[in-house]
Amino acid sequence: MTDFVVALGLVLALEGLLFAAFPGFAKRAMASVMETPEAHMRVVGVISAALGVILIWVVRG
């Protein structure tokens, strides 16, 4: 459970840095997401999740 909380904190820190450093880019990215078809977002989400699991598996062994 500790690893999950640390990972969640890292996600929040990276998102916070993105919004603080590049607010205009973040707003344009969000607007772009609103126009993206759900099927495409679902495929990107599944691929991202799979890559994340593979990365954790490789690092954690």
Q: How many domains does the chain have?
A: 1
pLDDT (0 to 100) of residue 28: 95
Q: Residue 29's pLDDT is what?
A: 93
pLDDT at residue number 3: 87
Whole-prediction pTM value? 0.70
Could you give the CA distance from residue 34 to residue 36 in angstroms, rounded to a whole number? 6
Residue with the bigger pLDDT between 38 and 61: it is 38
**Using CA atoms, how far apart are residues 47 and 19, in angstroms rounded to an integer?**
24
State which residues form the domain around 14: 2-60
Say how far apart CA 12 and CA 38 lie, in whole Å: 24
CA angle in degrees (0–180, nearest 5) for 9-43-46: 40
pLDDT value of position 27 = 95
pLDDT, tens digit, 9 for 90 and up, residues 20-53: 999 999 999 999 999 999 999 999 999 999 999 9
